[in-house]
Structure 1
């Protein structure tokens, strides 16, 4: 709820029979303005059932050893994900992608972006 919506809601509540007083509305508005970010974060944390992505890092390495000689000096993308819930220890997941897998992931991400764009433009 942005500040305009809050003011409209509180105004409606003060005009409603058995509603709140204008003083109570002022206190609620002040509280909301001072603590809106904390309230939002708290609601988000309460609504999560599963782990969330806390951090992600990536790098590109070159293979220096391999069972197959043709794979030496080929680029490899290393992606490290930190997953967890607030107040709990994190789990770390390390993924390794060769060039074909990176291209596949990029293609899938482009498809996801297209789907999101088409859904948001149609509403």
Structure 2
């Protein structure tokens, strides 16, 4: 083995000194790493839970969209049926106005109508 040059010897001695001063901090760094691993595992579990929740919410949103479309179609059908009804009622109303149709003499909802018979409770 060759003898070491003084510069190399000084460098090695300096590295050994640095190692001795840094060595006591090693357990704390290893514990921090273990804590980081535990934190990482917690975050991975949380991420999985959130992925599942997002999937559930997407399915629920799809269901709600389908229901919304169904209700919109029903509303459109009702609107069309009402429009047809109005189309058939409007001519009858116009005819009644031209004929001067008056209230029925049997209608009891107008003024001077007798009071309804009270019902026992």
TM over 0.5: no
Q: TM-score, normalised by structure 1?
A: 0.23
TM-score for the superposition, normalised by structure 2: 0.24
Greater helix share, structure number? 2
Report the structure, 1 or 2, having the larger strand content. 1
- Higher RCO, 1 vs 2 (CA within 8 Å, ≥6 residues apart): 1
> Which structure has the larger Rg?
2
